[in-house]
């Protein structure tokens, strides 16, 4: 593979997995690259992608389109990404840049590192999304002003880094470079645990609560609407960090419970004030871009 700088406008890009994330990325990249291919195992998704003119070509079989691509983007659930990476050498005889959108990075980067040298690999994870994950909900603006984490490997070239930077810029996101282990630790807290808490809150609500469900409950539980198949692999792959995050959360919940049990308004208000200040701090922090 040439070491010259990557130029997005000359690249042929294949997106494997045309759900919400892959479909939105395709819409955001339309007109930004030389060609845009889509791969999805669901024939109805392939038909919808062509009908909406989301990609120029689409196929269910990766082998029919991937060899034409300069850049392959894996936009599938984490277990599917791992399987796709293992099969990539069989369908991609040519050198190419490979990146992914998976929400657990360590396991994916380990799999990437085993690929033959012709693959220029880099891990990616956009910090955005919705609980409705199908192509029908794809939105060209989904990535705008959202952090896009990039996790490089020791073998990642300057060319692949340039590709990541240009894609991020083209879709209006903000690049954030970090180590895979740190990404997985933080995402367990900010993404994977909120999904579990949303599920727990829904399961704790009795059926008779339905008429009194308001915006607070709906906003706190919307992640429970995510298809289990999309999160099961994430929870398994990032199991250690998720368990650590749950342990820390349990400690905070115990403090609140103890304050309520003791009917101690001073302690309870202090915890509430601390939570309020932490909320303001977290929601006004802008990740460092690079």
The structural domains of the chain, ordered by start, are 9-178 (3.40.50.720), 183-283 (1.10.3660.10)
Task: Take residue 89 and report the two structure tokens written for it.
Answer: 């050498």
pLDDT in tens, 134-181: 898 999 999 999 999 999 999 999 999 999 999 999 999 999 999 999
**Do residues 134 and 20 lie in contact, with contact meaning Cβ atoms separated by under 8 Å?**
yes
So what's the pLDDT on residue 88?
A: 95
Q: Any residues with CB less than 8 A from the CB of 228 and at least 6 apart, and which?
A: none
Residue 176: name the closest of 196, 198, 149 by CA.
149
So what's the pLDDT on residue 288?
A: 41
pLDDT in tens, 201-214: 999 999 999 999 99
**Do residues 66 and 39 lie in contact, with contact meaning Cβ atoms separated by under 8 Å?**
yes
**Do residues 84 and 74 lie in contact, with contact meaning Cβ atoms separated by under 8 Å?**
yes
So what's the pLDDT on residue 283?
A: 84
So what's the pLDDT on residue 43?
A: 94
So what's the pLDDT on residue 285?
A: 61
Helix, strand, or coil (residue 83): helix
Regions in the chain scoring below 70 on pLDDT = 1-4, 285-290
pTM above 0.85, yes or no: yes
């Amino acid at each position: 593979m040439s070491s010259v700088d990557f130029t997005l406008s000359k690249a042929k890009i294949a997106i494997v997995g045309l759900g919400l994330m892959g479909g939105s990325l395709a819409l955001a990249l339309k007109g930004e690259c030389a060609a845009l291919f889509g791969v999805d195992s669901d024939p109805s998704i392939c038909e919808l992608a062509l009908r909406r003119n989301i990609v120029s070509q689409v196929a269910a079989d990766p082998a029919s389109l991937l060899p034409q691509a300069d850049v392959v983007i894996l936009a599938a659930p984490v277990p599917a990404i791992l399987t796709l990476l293992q099969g990539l050498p069989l369908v991609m005889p040519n050198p190419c840049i490979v990146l992914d959108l998976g929400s657990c990075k360590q396991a994916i980067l380990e799999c990437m590192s085993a690929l033959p040298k012709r693959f220029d690999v880099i891990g990616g994870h956009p910090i955005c999304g919705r609980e409705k994950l199908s192509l029908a909900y794809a939105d060209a603006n989904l990535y705008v002003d959202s952090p896009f984490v990039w996790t490089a490997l020791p073998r990642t070239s300057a060319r692949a880094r340039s590709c990541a930077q240009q894609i991020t810029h083209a879709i209006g996101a903000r690049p954030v470079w970090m180590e895979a282990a740190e990404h997985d630790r933080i995402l367990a807290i900010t993404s994977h645990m909120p999904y579990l808490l949303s599920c727990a809150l829904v399961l704790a609500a009795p059926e008779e609560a339905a008429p009194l469900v308001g915006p607070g409950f709906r906003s706190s539980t919307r992640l429970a609407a995510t298809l289990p198949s999309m999160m099961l692999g994430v929870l398994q792959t990032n199991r250690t960090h998720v368990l650590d995050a749950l342990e820390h959360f349990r400690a905070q919940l115990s403090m609140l419970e103890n304050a309520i049990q003791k009917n101690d308004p001073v302690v309870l208000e202090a915890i509430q004030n601390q939570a309020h200040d932490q909320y303001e701090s977290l929601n006004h922090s802008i990740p460092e871009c690079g």
